Structure 1
Amino acid sequence: MSASLTVVGLGSGDPDQLTVGILNKLRRADTLYLRTKEHPVLAMLEEYGVEARSFDEIYEAKDSFPEVYQEIAARLVATASAGQPGQEIVYAVPGHPMVAEATVGLLKKQCSERSIPLNILGGESFLDEAFVRLGFDPIEGFQLLDAGDMQADWLQPQLHTLIGQVYDSFTASDVKLCLMERYPDDYEVIVGHALGVAGEEAIHKVPLYELDRVKGYGNLSLVYVPRSEDERLRRHSFARLHEIVAILRSPEGCPWDREQTHQSIRKNLIEETYEVLETIDDDDPDHMKEELGDLLLQILLHAQMEEELGTFSVYDIIAGLNDKLIFRHPHVFGNEQAGDAEAALQNWEQMKAEEKRLKGIEPSMQSALDGVPRDLPALMKAYKLQRKAAKTGFDWDSIDGVFDKIREELDELQEAVREGHSTEEQVLELGDLLFASVNAARFIGADPEEALTLTNRKFTGRFHYIEDRLREQGRELVDSNLDEMESYWQEAKKALGDNWK
């Protein structure tokens, strides 16, 4: 058995707002603990002759707030455990016990584990005074954030936002930097000190960039960011993008977008992918940003079509991807280890196989070639098929065997052409030669798609050189001949070397 523990709220700061019940509880407490004496109600308690012990010294002894809260909870639980049945220990916290009060969350868990009776009595929260003194109605949309644990992606400009626990200018600076990721630097915000406390209240309206220059931050400080319907504030949000695409596909939207189907824009997805690849090869971040947006639009359009049918939404896609990434990275989100990229890849493949088993698919019953997309570009598909086959041991011992195979396929192609075989037979022999060449790329650790891309660009650069030389003379390709063009080609090789840009 143990003593009981009662948590009460001291309100937002104004002693007149303290309830009669809580005041009586404070005055009659067998043992009264205060999280901190830094609260305006303490002066009134001293007038009543109420004796209390505070935990202020723990703030000085610990390096972080979580450590402070853990220590306070541990001491209270230990005191209650050592107490006698019928004894009541009162613990008073600023504001309301269930609003931004970490120690209460810890006490709820620990008291339950040790069967210690725990009672929680409300009190006026700093929110009550904020609604009144700052003049907004939370029913319009409201969020409360902790200054010590803010993330930019939590911010929703269409909601009234209160940020509590802004203890000092350093915390205010962190809040400012976080807000600046979503709001313009000159967006007007409000700093409130000791709201509702006569003689201590201070309210400052400042542009966001001056937030950490405001004086007087302390235990009773907060930051208020008024809600806004300005579309410019939502332009960074994924939700807004989803909303825009839905509007485009709606009856009131764009006639062209409404008419599209998966098949009608299928080629767009491929084209946009290649345009992104081009920006990667060109090392052009600005253009890459634009092209990635175009690719993302195609994904959103396909997802929106299915959402209209009730099949899935883009948020279902995101949820599935989140689950997959966590599941396939046990060395990051679980207990597995991966000291290098090869070990990480091994974990990935093992978890892929486990995913299939969970879906009722037995990996051993599948072909070793399964998992290669049907519509990949042929060169890329050949490379992936060969890699999968090689993992089973179906491969040459060395690249010498590959070279022999290339020569064999070249001979067969030459024979098919020389003897006038059908076009279909010649095409098949050409395919065999290309397939064998892909094996060479694999053996030297090269991606054949990238290798051919580099050669295409090298060819283009040299051909442009020929055109430029002829233009310098006021001539065009049709005015030249093969010998002259070959001469300029050799010049281009010397002038440009292997430069493919």
Structure 2
Amino acid sequence: MGTGITVVGLGSGDPDQLTLGIWKVLQGASRIYVRTKEHPVMNRIAGEGIAFESFDSVYENNGSFSDVYETIARRLVELAASGELVYAVPGHPMVAEKTVLLLREYAEEAGIPLKVLGGESFLDQAFVRLGFDPIEGFQLLDSSDVTVESIRPSLHTLIGQVYDSLTASEVKLGLMEVYPDDHPVIVGHALGVEGEERILRVPLYELDRLEGYGNLSLVYIPKADDESLTIGSFARLHEIVGILRSPGGCPWDMEQTHASIRKNLIEETYEVLETIDDDDPDHMREELGDLLLQIMLHSRMEEEVGTFTVYDVIRGLNEKLIFRHPHVFGDRAAGSADEALKNWDAMKAEEKKRKGASAPEASLLDGVPRDLPALMKAYKLQKKAAKAGFDWEKIEDVFAKIEEELGELREALAEGADSESLKLELGDLLFSAVNASRFLDADPEEALSLVNDKFRRRFRYIEDRLREQGSSPQGSTLEEMDALWNEAKGAEQTK
């Protein structure tokens, strides 16, 4: 007795659509197994006296669809070892049929011949009954994969395997990430099956309120070119920036270069930081958009000369994130933030090694951007040196160093040192103060920002009070302003 598996498709549901070749295979088969008997064609097969066994019990004994499909595929390989068999599935064997994909893999491993015969899929009936041509642009999604990343409104979209109201609810929530709540959608039940077909057009919010979902149900959203549906996509952003930079676009955008908008990148970054300090989510959203625009513009400039695109930027970032998080995407472990940071640094060093950076040329201080603000740069340089043991033992040593540098600055000033020497002495003092910030676990940029805000607030108080008195800072004495400063300080302390 030979071995082998023949997979046949039972079509979309109408027995009259079953191909003659597949009908002959079913009539001549000695052993037939079906994934489920819950399919309209099965009544015709049973009525013709053709015996079969179904795997419906597997659904009852497994907790997930993936387990069901795995069990069925492996069971079929075991059964085929004792002789030829036919495995029948709804629709087309290669359309939304996970068991067949698994079966192709397992049969090959076991050395069992596998033959797949087509059949009408639910797609055939969808194209006919819903009346659209897939050449216009079409995507097929599984009900479990309806996400903002996968949805493309510019394509005709079919969502299959919408088995029940719970699944319809999950589909609805996914679609609402892109479409308005009242966007029209179409639900199709048993398309092409005489006496059972139902096609319903409903607003999206009613999708899970309908009855009648089952194995032959799907959801269809016609393609739409509505700007409101695509305006939230990254692809549309890329397109808009390209239009702005193209002939006939915006004259200002077309003239810009990396150098001309360099300062914009810094300014937008600090505007984002301001919204973070102010805990202002609405403005943060806007400012993050402005910052993203700078990235898009710089990337577009390189795309125009053929070096890279913004999608290359994203690809590189994704690769870096995966590589530097082996405790998430690999086999390393990290039970704390410190351990995760150690993994990050280790993988970062491995990246440099793979890029050919030789050990003698590398420095422990590498990786600190040259153009960082000086205070932030000092903080990062000191942290890197401290990791190598080049650091003070206690904060009292830092205070002593600050006093020493302050004394040297005073001495240089008293001796009439030139401006460059005074600048270096002042830099030493500031650098030592940054050391204190590390021991206090306080970011010096944040600390100075707080003081800047405090100064701005108190000086504004002085201006307001003087204005009430009919005066101004320019028309007041230092003593008068100092008194108001102390007044502002006292008012803050009583709050």
TM-score in terms of structure 2 length: 0.98
Number of equivalenced pairs: 495
- Confirm or deny: 8 A CA contact 2:3 2:80 kept in the other structure: yes
Alpha-carbon separation, structure 2, partners of 1:15 and 1:449? 74
Shift of 1:487: 1.2
> Is this contact kept in 1: 2:146–2:175, CA < 8 A?
no
SS of the residue 1:154 aligns to? coil
TM-superposed CA distance for 1:462, in Å, is: 1.2
1:381 aligned onto 2:377: yes
Cα 1:298–1:317 shift into 2, 3 Å: same
1:461 shift after superposition: 1.1
Alpha-carbon distance in 1 for matches of 2:345, 2:398:
28
Please report how far the alpha carbon of residue 497 of structure 1 lies from its aligned counterpart in structure 2 after TM superposition: 2.8
| Secondary structure of the structure 1 residue equivalent to 2:482 | helix
Give deviations 1:51-72, integer Å, cap 9, x for gaps: 1111112222222111111121
Partner residue, 1:268: 264
Instruction: Tell me the amino acid that sits aligned with residue 214 of structure 2.
Output: G
Structure 1 equivalent of residue 47 of structure 2: 47
Distance in 1, matches of 2:54 and 2:87, equals 9
The answer on whether the counterparts of 1:69 and 1:102 sit within 8 Å (CA) in structure 2 is yes
Match of 1:198 in 2: 194
Pair 1:23-2:19 in alignment: no
Identical-pair percentage: 68
User: Do structure 1's residue 218 and structure 2's residue 214 form an aligned pair?
Assistant: yes
SS where residue 369 of structure 2 aligns?
coil
Match of 1:107, SS state, is helix
Deviation at 1:2, TM superposition (A): 6.0
455-464 vs 124-133, greater mean Cα deviation: 455-464
Q: What's the counterpart of residue 299 of structure 2? A: 303
2:235 corresponding residue in structure 1? 239
Out of 324, 331, 351, the residue aligned to residue 327 of structure 2 is 331
Q: Secondary structure at the match of 1:152?
A: coil
Quote the RMSD (CA, aligned, Å).
1.3
**Alignment map for 1:91-240 (pairs within 5 Å):** 91-240=87-236
- Tell me if the contact between 1:356 and 1:363 (Cα under 8 Å) persists in the aligned partners: no
Q: Which one of 321, 328, 332 corresponds to residue 317 of structure 2?
A: 321
Match of 1:355 in 2: 351
Q: Distance in 2 between matches of 1:6 and 1:207?
A: 43
Cα distance in 1, alignment partners of residues 23 and 360 from structure 2: 72
Q: Between 354-363 and 468-477, report the one with greater CA deviation.
A: 468-477
2:67: which partner in 1?
Answer: 67
Q: Which runs of 5+ in 1 are unaligned?
A: none
Q: Which residue of 2 aligns with 1:342?
A: 338
Cα distance between partner residues in 1 of 2:64 and 2:363 = 55
CA distance in 2: counterparts of 1:458 and 1:111, whole angstroms? 73
Residue identity in the other structure for 1:3: T
Could you tell which deviates more after superposition, 72-81 or 167-176? Answer: 72-81
* SS of aligned partner of 2:274: helix
Q: Supply the distance in 2 between the matched residues of 1:498 and 1:419 (Cα, whole angstroms).
A: 44
2:163 corresponds to which letter in structure 1? Answer: Y
* Aligned mate of 2:442, from 439, 446, 453: 446
* Cα deviation digits, residues 338-369 of structure 1 (max 9, x gap): 01011000000100110011111134531222
In 2, distance between residues paired with 1:415 and 1:96? 89
Supply the AA of the counterpart residue of 2:357: I
Q: CA 1:158–1:28 in structure 2 vs 1: closer, same or farther (change >3 Å)?
A: same
Shift of 1:204: 0.2
Match runs of 1:468-483 below 5 Å: 468-483=464-479
| Residues 21/112 of structure 1: CA separation in 2 closer, same or farther (3 Å cut) | same
2:412 maps to 1:416: yes
TM-score, length-scaled by structure 1? 0.97
Task: Name the aligned partner's letter for residue 131 of structure 2.
Answer: G
Q: Quote the offset at 1:394 in angstroms.
A: 1.7
Indicate whether 1:394 and 2:390 are aligned.
Answer: yes
SS in 1 for 2:50: coil
CA distance in 2 between partners of 1:353 and 1:46 (Å): 66
What's the offset of the Cα at 1:498? 9.8
Q: Which runs of 5+ in 2 are unaligned?
A: none
